[in-house]
Chains A and B, each alone.
Chain A
């Protein structure tokens, strides 16, 4: 899960990394009060989980409290790459003398974390990395050792950062490990005219798998933009809403991804990704079907199950029991193979619902579901 900038800076501050004074609000009136408290002149920053805020007009300087109110009113409610701005952060401006870039990211290939640092921070860091890769230092961190003062000194030296940043590099590593983050980034890390090192902006991505031991942002994580995604998550289903018209349910992430592709190859668009997981019960199947059928853009549904741990008869029972709670108004194409497939097929045959049809192969079933969705228009 990505954190908002203001949450990231909260973590930085707790771990002893200096940040500018700032407050957040969702009201432009309050923005005026905050600006007054912070000394009048402030930077107003949209709080959205998206890059490119500056270029989109979501980061602006306001000269006084009245301007802060006006600017906040303009930024609140703005759309930045599909994200609506609900809160703004007002921060004290800083006299910047130099801008740097530092981050720790997961290096999948090496199976460890990588420190990335550059003496040329700021909004153009991607361009710097592409044009002059030698200006960006990339140093693997031994997970057993972590980032000690000595390691941090090596990173700073390799990137050409001033010695005062060594302490920040160690503290940022502590944010990564103690908060179970998979990415921490400070851009820019600045040196002020007074010689202090400050994190002006930052990004933190937390590991969803570590939720069980990091409940701090729990309430936040439960909020989903899409109501169906929220409902599916509440039922423990792995569901992603997409833009198409063929609803897709399957077992196992790989098979469901593959099903999406095969349906798209037949000229239709998948409406969603829904993985009922391994060993799914009839209840899980019924829940999944209910979620998909409540999506108004769905015109046909493709249930694609290869029973391994999952038993096909449990899946068929789930489909049949779902018919008690939802009225099936859309055609359902079902392909069952593997564990208990014969019994599963027999259960559906016995129910003989006019809108349910079975197709024995994955490719054939995908073609049928695509046809049904296209003809429904």
Chain B
């Protein structure tokens, strides 16, 4: 088992025929992902060859879903067109849409998140690396070969810190790693993933990676106190970030007294979560915690 994504997942790629879409579809296929089609209205009916796989291109998400039973879509669509693309996926009844694109206007995000929620489509992202269930399926741009299947669940706002922790804990392995994205408004939260990992019998421990901005980590802490019985180890980035400057991610900004790394660390520690001071120390805390269980 895993959360949100398994080897049975049938994946469509919106924007597959673009440069990024082509590159990452090839990587997803190499990781074992069951990519059942791409979507491009101008190239419907063609197929694209990826090494030994010919992937069909559909004119719409609805058509792709009707013909293949696709239940996941990964979006490599330019920012201006993401809103329409998510609406299309939600209208087609796709249960999970993974939005890799960064730089989406927040009014568009607010609109498509509200729309998707109403239609029952879970959105992961935007501005995220996607999610991977090692050895089974990879929906997005997370490198597949730096870790292996195992029993740690990982949820993170940051792509590269996801990779760093996956690599440091490669000998233990992961059930699923979810990059939820660094934008101010994202479709799937730390809390959603904590709940899913808590319910997943194949996850023993959860790693949570946060960063400055907003209060998602503080809310996650309250959720852990009330609902999570599995051990959680966390890492927070941005202790040295100055107030009022955006540090790379659109959502990573300390405004006034809110959104500081210190406040997030303290909230997590107050509910019994161990918080590492570096990624390496965080990995060590995970190893120690798992050893104690045995």
CB <8 Å contact, B163 and A253: no
Residue of A nearest to B235 (CB): A258
| A208 CB within 8 Å of chain B | yes
| A362 CB within 8 Å of chain B | yes
Chain A residues closer than 8 Å to B250, beta-carbon distance: 208-209
Chain B residues closer than 8 Å to A238, beta-carbon distance: 248
| B91 CB within 8 Å of chain A | no
Residue of A nearest to B163 (CB): A308
CB <8 Å contact, A257 and B143: no
Chain A residues closer than 8 Å to B278, beta-carbon distance: 258, 261-262, 265, 362-363
Chain B residues closer than 8 Å to A251, beta-carbon distance: 160
CB <8 Å contact, B185 and A209: no
Chain A residues closer than 8 Å to B279, beta-carbon distance: 258, 362
Task: Answer whether A207 and B248 are a contact pair too, CB < 8 Å, given A252-B160, A253-B158, A361-B280.
Answer: no
Residues of A within 8 A of B (CB): 106, 108-109, 111-113, 142-144, 177, 180, 182, 207-210, 212-213, 238, 240, 242, 250-258, 260-262, 264-265, 270, 273, 275, 278, 306-309, 337-339, 361-363
Task: Answer whether A108 and B242 are a contact pair too, CB < 8 Å, given A143-B111, A207-B106, A362-B280.
Answer: no
Chain B residues closer than 8 Å to A250, beta-carbon distance: 160
In the complex, which range does the number of interface residues on chain B fall in?
35 or more
In chain B between 60 and 112, which residues have their CB closer than 8 angstroms to a CB of chain A? 79-80, 103-107, 109-111
Residue of A nearest to B184 (CB): A108
Least distance between A363 CB and chain B CB atoms (Å): 5
Residue of A nearest to B164 (CB): A306
| B115 CB within 8 Å of chain A | yes
CB <8 Å contact, A111 and B159: no
Task: Answer whether A278 and B240 are a contact pair too, CB < 8 Å, given A254-B249, A257-B247.
Answer: no
Task: Answer whether A363 and B280 are a contact pair too, CB < 8 Å, given A108-B185, A337-B167, A338-B146.
Answer: yes
Residue of A nearest to B250 (CB): A209
Which of these binds chain A: B31-39, B40-48, B208-216?
A: B208-216
Chain A interface, DSSP helix/strand/loop, else mixed:
mixed
Residue of A nearest to B160 (CB): A252
Task: Answer whether A338 and B167 are a contact pair too, CB < 8 Å, given A106-B184, A363-B278.
Answer: yes
Least distance between A34 CB and chain B CB atoms (Å): 31
Residue of A nearest to B24 (CB): A309
Could you pull out 12 A-B pairs where Cβ atoms are within 8 angstroms?
A108-B184, A108-B215, A111-B113, A209-B104, A212-B79, A254-B156, A254-B182, A255-B158, A255-B164, A261-B278, A308-B159, A308-B160
The answer for the CA separation of A258 and B159 in the assembled complex, in Å, is 12
Residues of B within 8 A of A (CB): 79-80, 103-107, 109-111, 113-115, 129, 141-143, 146, 156-164, 167, 182, 184-185, 187, 209, 211-212, 214-216, 219, 235, 237-242, 245-252, 261, 277-281
Least distance between A174 CB and chain B CB atoms (Å): 12
CB <8 Å contact, A108 and B161: no
The answer for the CA separation of A112 and B113 in the assembled complex, in Å, is 9
Task: Answer whether A254 and B115 are a contact pair too, CB < 8 Å, given A207-B106, A363-B280.
Answer: no
Chain A residues closer than 8 Å to B261, beta-carbon distance: 261
Task: Answer whether A265 and B159 are a contact pair too, CB < 8 Å, given A113-B110, A209-B104, A253-B252.
Answer: no
CB <8 Å contact, A278 and B115: no
Chain B residues closer than 8 Å to A108, beta-carbon distance: 184-185, 214-216, 251
Least distance between B221 CB and chain A CB atoms (Å): 13
Other-chain contact of A253, B113, B142, B249 (Cβ < 8 Å): B249
CB <8 Å contact, A242 and B242: yes
Least distance between B122 CB and chain A CB atoms (Å): 13
CB <8 Å contact, A209 and B247: no
Chain B residues closer than 8 Å to A275, beta-carbon distance: 248
Least distance between B213 CB and chain A CB atoms (Å): 8
The answer for the CA separation of A292 and B99 in the assembled complex, in Å, is 33
CB <8 Å contact, B160 and A255: yes
The answer for the CA separation of A261 and B262 in the assembled complex, in Å, is 12
Residue of B nearest to A363 (CB): B280
Which of B159, B182, B215 has the largest count of A CB atoms less than 10 A from its CB?
B159
Which of A209, A212, A255, A363 has the largest count of B CB atoms less than 10 A from its CB?
A209
CB <8 Å contact, A143 and B252: no
Which of B79, B141, B240, B252 has the largest count of A CB atoms less than 10 A from its CB?
B240
Least distance between B286 CB and chain A CB atoms (Å): 16
The answer for the CA separation of A338 and B185 in the assembled complex, in Å, is 29
Other-chain contact of A207, B107, B219, B247 (Cβ < 8 Å): B107
Other-chain contact of B141, A143, A258, A308 (Cβ < 8 Å): A308
CB <8 Å contact, B245 and A106: no
CB <8 Å contact, B159 and A278: yes
The answer for the CA separation of A363 and B279 in the assembled complex, in Å, is 9
CB <8 Å contact, A306 and B107: no
The answer for the CA separation of A298 and B241 in the assembled complex, in Å, is 18
Least distance between B31 CB and chain A CB atoms (Å): 13
Chain A residues closer than 8 Å to B238, beta-carbon distance: 257, 260-261
Other-chain contact of B106, A182, A258, A273 (Cβ < 8 Å): A182
Which of B111, B141, B237, B248 has the largest count of A CB atoms less than 10 A from its CB?
B248
Chain A residues closer than 8 Å to B142, beta-carbon distance: 308
CB <8 Å contact, A362 and B164: yes
Task: Answer whether A254 and B215 are a contact pair too, CB < 8 Å, given A213-B80, A264-B240, A308-B129.
Answer: no
Other-chain contact of A111, B185, B239, B241 (Cβ < 8 Å): B185
